[in-house]
Chain A
Amino acid sequence: MDQKISPELLYLNDVSVVFDGFRALNSLSLTIGEKEMRAIIGPNGAGKTTMMDVITGKTRPTVGTALFDGGVHDLTRLDEATIAGLGIGRKFQTPTVIENHDVETNVELALKADKGPFAKLFSRRTPQVQERIDEILERVRLKNARHRRAGDLSHGQKQWLEIGMLLAQEPKLLLVDEPAAGMTDAETADTAVLLREIAETRSVVVVEHDMIFVRDLDVKVTVLHEGSVLAEGSLDHVSSNERVIEVYLGR
């Protein structure tokens, strides 16, 4: 299993997740290529977050295949920490930062490094690490807030901090769940620019409700509905799809 069997970075095939008889994901199949950016849209309860849970090891699929890095890694057999270590980073729908740590420490904890307990017991913050932290804070515009307690940040700032933490992990694949939620229009536009920049070097999957934001991203769109893919293509293509209109605009 250490040879790449497919060119895809992420390969989901026929994935179903059943909670007490309810199918949150229903034979979902989806692939994401290297350095691809994909927008995922779909009404509430479509299974977008559950899909991310499957990819990141939080939820085990009832059936189905989830492979990473050209089929090298079977995501359904690994735990969250191992998957994160493989290079899959995740930003949660509601920002979850370590509130009792300051902004810098939050980024520091996320930085790509040996994350075993003994390595951490004997390491301190080096100038190189500080430099990495500074770069990231610069990029997510939190340099002036670096010593603030993360719990005291505004909602929008927490979103940015989470994106910064995601960058710090240097993942191959970023899963970003509703990044624009709670942001002002200007912040939302900034976020789109930042994500496009990130997607130049890595793969990004963005779940978003905000259609203006999705239009700004200008990438292939996958529409999820009732746990499976309803349509796929450019935003214009999918928004002219009759079933999508039906789902979104009510029946």
Chain B
Amino acid sequence: MTSTRLIDFKGYVFLAVLVAAVVIVPGLNLLLPADNPFHIPSYLVPLLGKYLTYALLALAVDLVWGYCGILSLGHGAFFALGGYAIGMHLMREIGPRGVYANPELPDFMVFLNLKELPVWWWGFDFFPYAALMVLLVPGALAFVFGWFAFRSRVTGVYLSIITQALTFALLLAFFRNDMIMGGNNGLTDFKDIFGIPLQTQGMRASLFALSALALGLGYLLCRYIVTSNFGKVLVAVRDQESRTRFLGYKVENYKLVVWVISAMMAGVAGALYVPQVGIINPGEFSPANSIEAVIWVAVGGRGTLVGAALGAVLVNFAKTWLTGAFPELWLFALGGLFVVVTLFLPKGIMGLIGSMDSVKAWTTRRRAVAKPAE
């Protein structure tokens, strides 16, 4: 049984770590001179910020998988769409500073011999519109997809396969030049946002802080959902879908609501990711990305939220290190990790922490029992 308080002990620890990260990472970067051993180099700030956006994506995956039993192998699609939405804004911000110096059209459109801005690019120069699209585009896609999938009662591995097909279809679509989304190269060469260059230390620190804030708020939103009556129904759907219907719940509506919320969270994660890595291309839709996100959650502990975020950060630390040190080993390591977790740690790292708790409780109880005998 999960705890019913909005913020439990693990939640406080998690939020405290986030607050500390917001103070420490930009602080050590901005305030300490570069030769200080505690100085965090500027290139690390967006890297760490990227981990936080992955953690937010992991929360989104855990919300549907851990609490409602929907194993999405396509959440990378929502992440990428959020990223593209903000990427389109960043492209428009470049203005006449592109190589072709076209005041209206981004370089790749000039290259494609376009004369005017396609309709679907309209409005993206206006930040609030782009921000709205970060939520609406993944949300609308999730709504349409979920409407059909959940109503036709597609579940289990079949559902997972069609989520995978969804992201694969988008991968192919975004590769095409006639989508006018930058094709193979995607969107890149961003200059600034709100007139502030993306490469400045201050902007990097702000994006990092914003990612931490989004992760914290995302966590609270998820906790609100899973501790509400709605969340209790979700767990019932996860464990006894058919039984839940006989209790009078329209399961498809519950799935649809949580699915759309989760997709929007993934979209926000993608939107924070893109300005920190400086590029969004169709590769972000690749099925492997979505599968990786599921592995983060499995490693951290499915249905624990905090574990999902932790798993995302730890696995990506390992990935950054391994792809630097032994690039060819990463995929084997990831596969091996998944096998190990599935076989030996069904509840992930959080399960490990939980069993340490119970070992402690057990030993203290034994001590308490042993005492009177002394």
Contacts and interface: CB of A to CB of B under 8 A. Distances in A.
Interface in A85-124: 85, 89-90, 92, 96-102, 105, 108-110, 115-118, 120-124
Contacts of A84: 245-248
B9 to A, nearest CB: 19
A116 B253 CA distance: 8
Given A98-B239, A101-B1, A120-B228, A109 B233 contact: yes
Residue among B244, B248, B251 with the most chain A CB within 10 A?
A: B248
A81 B251 contact: yes
A4 to B, nearest CB: 22
Nearest to B247: A110
Residue among B229, B232, B254, B257 with the most chain A CB within 10 A?
A: B229
Interface string B27-64: 00000000000000000000000000000000000000
A124 B228 contact: yes
Interface string A72-85: 00000001111011
B226 to A, nearest CB: 11
Contacts of B245: 79-81, 84
Contacts of B232: 101, 105, 108-109, 120
Contacts of B248: 81, 84-85, 115, 169
Given A101-B232, A116-B253, A121-B230, A90 B225 contact: no
Contacts, number: 87
A97 B240 CA distance: 8
B228 A100 contact: no
Interface in B203-255: 225, 228-230, 232-233, 235-236, 239-240, 242-251, 253-254
Interface residues of B, number: 25
A30 B229 CA distance: 38
A172 interface: no
Interface residues of A, number: 35
B74 to A, nearest CB: 22
A120 B253 CA distance: 12
B225 A121 contact: yes
B1 A149 contact: yes
A99 to B, nearest CB: 6
Nearest to A168: B247
Interface in A48-78: 56, 58
Interface in B237-289: 239-240, 242-251, 253-254, 256-257
B229 A98 contact: no
A228 B64 CA distance: 44
B228 A116 contact: no
A200 B225 CA distance: 39
A169 B95 CA distance: 62
Interface of B: 1, 225, 228-230, 232-233, 235-236, 239-240, 242-251, 253-254, 256-257
9 contacts: A56-B246, A79-B245, A81-B249, A81-B250, A81-B251, A101-B235, A123-B228, A169-B247, A169-B248
